[in-house]
Chain A
Amino acid sequence: MSIIIDGTGSISGVSSTGLTTAQTVTQSAIATGVAGTGPTFSAYANAVTSVPNSSATVVQYQVKAWDTATCFNNTSGTVSLNGISVPAWSFAPNVAGYYQINAGIQSQVGALKTLEIYLNKNGGVYSYGNFTVGDPNGYCQSCVSNIIYFNGTSDSINISAWQASGSTVNVSSGQGQTWFSAALVRSA
């Protein structure tokens, strides 16, 4: 196909440095896999996760608020999603790129006791979150966030909680208490 400019018409919205208006490329015209239409999910706990004393325990997020590309495993077993083997309670996007990750956990671990949160990539600790100390009622809320690269074919992440109160404690349920979300912010 050839494009002929014969001087009889006009072209608007284009300059020598590129497109001049955001309206020229609409969100609906962006292909899947480009930031704006890439995978994103949000999930929360509607049941507690029991965390034994001094044992880093993967947090369970049972309810999906959304999961646009079916990349989050909200079960206790390993499942295949988009051809990727996804461990329990893990997010494994099928589009390579850089993802913003956010997670929070709440627990009544005890006054002056510590609740810690970790972001695990492929089974190993990738990011430490904040270590919070229980308020006078014993409540703690710990959060972690980061931007992480995923290869889109095998990488996965999940969230762990750790505490050393001396006995098993529960990570609370609730959309505002224990949550986990991610979104593609830049393709590979």
Chain B
Amino acid sequence: MSLYDKIMSIYPTLKLEDFSPMNKIIFLCDNSDEKGEFIKEWNHPTLAKPTPEQLA
């Protein structure tokens, strides 16, 4: 399951545009360094950044 899918399962009300790199409300990245995806920026005004336990 991708990081996007995990976050959407926690917060189903999020929209695709919330993940756009243009506005960086939620900015997901993968440095292709074999460490996988991570949340680079979380700027949502009302929803809290998921914890590692929620994303595990």
A interface with B by C-beta (< 8 Å)? 49, 51-60, 76-78, 87-89, 116, 118, 125, 128, 160, 162, 164, 168
Q: Which residues of A have CB within 8 Å of B3?
A: 52, 55
Closest to A60 in B: B32
Most chain A beta carbons < 10 A, residue from B19, B27, B32: B32
Q: Which residues of A have CB within 8 Å of B40?
A: 56
If over half of B's interface residues share one DSSP class (helix, strand or loop), that class is named, otherwise mixed; here it is mixed
Q: Are A54 and B28 in contact (CB under 8 A)?
A: yes
Q: Are B4 and A55 in contact (CB under 8 A)?
A: yes
> Is residue B33 within 8 Å, beta carbon to beta carbon, of the partner chain?
yes
> Is residue B13 within 8 Å, beta carbon to beta carbon, of the partner chain?
no
Q: How far is the CA of A49 from the CA of B33 in the complex (A)?
A: 12
Q: Are B16 and A164 in contact (CB under 8 A)?
A: yes
As a 0/1 sequence over residues 28 to 56 of chain B, the CB contacts with chain A under 8 angstroms (1 = contact) are 11111110010010000000000000000
List 23 A-B pairs, Cβ < 8 Å: A52-B3, A53-B2, A54-B2, A54-B16, A55-B3, A55-B28, A55-B37, A56-B21, A56-B27, A56-B30, A57-B29, A57-B30, A57-B32, A58-B32, A60-B32, A88-B32, A88-B33, A118-B21, A125-B21, A128-B22, A162-B21, A164-B16, A164-B20
Q: Are B31 and A116 in contact (CB under 8 A)?
A: no
Closest to B5 in A: A53
